[in-house]
Structure 1
C-alpha cells in the first residue's frame, strides 16, 4: 500500500496575531508621537528662554522656526530607528547628516540668542540619542548626554542670571531629562517589537512541531502495518507450497492488516483535519437543506466544547446515511449536553419501502468509533421515523 502525504498549507494568520501586529504599529505611532511631543515642549521652552533674554520679535521668530525645522528633521531619525532590528550593525551616518546639521543649526541659534551652553548642545544631544546605537552603546551615550547637559546647566547658572520671567530651573530640568525620557519611549517600542517577533517565532515553532508530530505519527502507523504485512506475506510465500490452507490464511491476515492500515490512516487524517463541531453541524444542516429536506436544528451554545474528534465523523456519516437511504421530507438534528455526556441525535421521516443501512458499513463504522470512546449508539426505526442517537462522555477526547 502506498500513501502520499500532502504538504501542509501555510498557516493563515489568526485574528489574535493580526490584532497584535496592528497593535505594534499603533504603539510605534504612540512612541513617535510621545518623542515629538517632548521635543516640541523643549522647543517651546527654548523659545521662551530666548524671549526672556531678548524680547525682539525677530529673535523669537528665528528661534521658533529653527526649532520646528529641527523637530521635523528628527522624523528621519525616528523612521530610521523603527527599522533598527532589521538594519545592519552601526550607524548609517551617510543618510543622517541632514538631521544632525539641523540640530547643530538650531543649537547655534538658541545658544547664541539665549546665551546658554545647555541650549546650544541640547538639539545635537537629542538627535544623537535617537540614532540606532547598539543596546550597550546607547546606554553610555544617554548617560554621557545627560551628564553633559547637567554640567552645562551648572556653567550657565554660574555665568549669568535670567529675568524672573523664566526661572532658571525650568529649562535645566526639562533639557537635562530629555535624553532619559526619549530613550524610555524608545525602550517601550523595542519591548513591543521583541514581543511581536517572539510571537511570530513561537507560531513558526508550533507549526514545525506539528509537522514533525504528523510525520512521526504517519511513520509509526505505516511502518508498523507495513512490517506486519511484509512478515505475513513472507510467511504465506513459505507455506503455500507445503500447506496451501495455512498460506491462504496468512494472505487473508495480510488483507486484514491492509484494511487496518487504511482505516488507521483515515482516522489519523480525520484527527488532524478536524473541523469545529459547530461547523460540522452547520454543514450537515446546509447539506440536508440543499437536498430538499426541511431541517430542524437544535445546537447547544457550548457545542465548541464537545469532543469533535469523536462526534465529527459520526455527524458526517449519519448525514450521509440520511441522504443515501432516507428520501423523506424532514430531518432533525440535535446536540445537547447532559451532566457528564454529550447527546447527538439525527432523525428523518421514513419513506415507505426505504431500508436504512443495508450494507451495514456506515452504522457499523459509527458503532466502532463510539465504542472506542466508551459511548453508546441507539437506533430506532419504525414506520414513520428513523432515529440515530449517540451519547459520548464529556471526556471522550481523553478516552480516545
Structure 2
C-alpha cells in the first residue's frame, strides 16, 4: 500500500522560512508571471516608440533601461517573498537601488518621449513590491492606478498612435501585480495554518499522554504517601498496624507499575498500518511529500517495538529535517522485519545534526535483539531498524 500526496504550501518569518518544493515552485510562477507582464508592456512600449520616428539611440536607451528596471523588480520581489505583516516597509538600503533605478528610468523616458504615463509606470510598479500593510496596500494601488489613468488621459490629448491600448494595459499593470502578490499571501497564510495544525496535533498527542500518566501516577503516589505517613506515625505504638499500611503501600506500588504497563500497552497496541498512515498524514500536514510502502503481512509485525520507533523517527523529521520529502517502508526480510524512513535534508540543516533520540532507538533495537542503522549524506538521511519477527524484549 502506498500513500502519496502533493506537498502543500508553506512560509514563516524572515530567518525562519523553509519553503517546500511545491511552495517554492508556486513563488517562481508568481515572479515569472509578473516579470512577463512587465516585459510584454515594455515590448509594446518600445514598438510604439519606434513608430513615432524616434531616433534609434532613443529606442535602444529605452529598451536597455527597461531591461535593467525589470531586473531591479526581481530584487524587490525576492524581498517580498519573505515578508511578514509586522515587518518594515522595505529592507533598506537593499530596496533603495531598485527604486532609484525605476525613478531614473522614468526620467529618461519623459526626456526622450514626453509620455507621462509611461514614464511614471516604473516607479509606480516598483512601489507595489514594498511591504505595505493590508489596508494601506489597497489604498496605494488605487491612488497609483488613478494617477496613471490621469496621466494616460493627458497623453491621449497628443493623439499618439496606438497609445490607447498600451496605455490601458499600463494602467491595469499595478492592479494585476497586487492581485498576484495577494494570491501569494493567501498561499503563505494557508501554509502557516497547515503547519500550525501539524504542530497542534503533535502537541495534543503529547498532552494526552502526559495527562494519562499524570492521572495514573498522581493518584497512586498520593495514596502511597498517605500510607507511608500513617505507617510512620503508628510504628512506635502499633507496629502491626504500621506493617499493614506498609503492605498496602507496596500493593499500591504494584498497582501503579501495572497501570503504567497497561498504559504503555494501550499505546503500543495501535496497528502498524495505522501508525504508518498517521505518520504520513502528519508529515503531509507539515508540508512534506510523504509516502509509505507497507508489507501485506504488516499485521503480524512486532508493533510493540516498531510502533514507538515510527513515532520517534517521524517526530525527528518534523523537528530537524527541514526537507521536502520522506519515504517510509515496512518490509519482511526472512525471519526479520525491517522499518526504514528516509528524508532529504534542508539546505540549512548541517550533516552532523541528527536530532535527539537516536541513542534511545539504538537501545530499543538492542533490547529487541535487532539492529539500528543510520545513514548520513549531505542531502539525505535514513534510519532503519531490523528486528526479529518473534521479539522477546529484555527487561
TM-score, normalised to structure 2, is 0.61
Distance 1:277 1:100, change over 3 A: closer
* 1:136-195 deviation line (CA, Å, top 9, x unaligned): 221111111100111111111112332xxxx23211221011011101111111111122
Ranges in structure 2 where 5+ consecutive residues have no aligned partner: 11-19, 276-293, 308-333, 338-395
Residue from 231, 255, 259 that aligns with 2:254: 259
Alignment of 1:131-146 (within 5 A): 131-146=130-145
SS at match of 1:208: helix
3-state secondary structure, aligned to 1:95: coil
1:193 corresponds to:
188
Per-residue CA deviation, residues 45-104 of structure 1 (Å, 9 max, x unaligned), is 211121121254323222211110111111111112122118733334533222122212
Contact kept, 8 Å, 1:111 with 1:118, in 2: the verdict is no
Aligned mates of 1:42, 1:331 — CA distance in 2: 68
Partner of 1:47: 46
Question: Once structures 1 and 2 are overlaid, which stretch shifts more, 121-130 or 81-90?
Answer: 81-90
**1:106 Cα offset (Å):** 2.3
Provide the C-alpha distance between the structure 2 equivalents of 1:302 and 1:154, rounded to a whole number of angstroms: 75
Q: Identify unmatched segments of 5+ residues in structure 1.
A: 1-13, 281-298, 317-329, 334-400
1:182 and 1:269 map into 2 onto residues whose CA distance is 56
Query: What is the CA–CA distance in structure 1 between the aligned matches of 2:138 and 2:223, rounded to whole Å?
Result: 66
Question: Is residue 43 of structure 2 the alignment partner of residue 65 of structure 1?
Answer: no
SS of the equivalent of 2:102 reads: helix
Task: From 197, 215, 224, give the equivalent of 2:210.
Answer: 215
Cα pair 2:87 2:131 within 8 Å, conserved: no
Alignment size in residue pairs: 283
Indicate how the Cα distance of structure 1 residues 236 and 139 shifts in structure 2: closer, same or farther if over 3 A, else same.
Answer: same
Higher relative contact order (CA 8 A, sep 6+): 2
Spell out, residue by residue over 1:8-57, the C-alpha distance to the aligned partner (whole angstroms, 9 max, x if none). Answer: xxxxxx99878753222111111111111111111112111211212543
Instruction: State the match for 2:151 in structure 1.
Output: 152
* SS of alignment partner, residue 53 of structure 1: coil
Q: Which moved more, 1:213-222 or 1:35-44?
A: 213-222
Alignment of 1:1-400 (within 5 A): 21-54=20-53, 56-85=55-84, 88-162=87-161, 167-234=162-229, 248-272=243-267, 276-278=271-273, 301=296, 312-313=303-304
Aligned partners of 1:31 and 1:331: how far apart in 2? 53
Scaled by the length of structure 1, the TM-score of the pair is: 0.60
SS in 2 for 1:118: helix
How many Å apart are 1:206 and its aligned residue? 3.2
Over alpha carbons, which structure has the higher Rg?
1
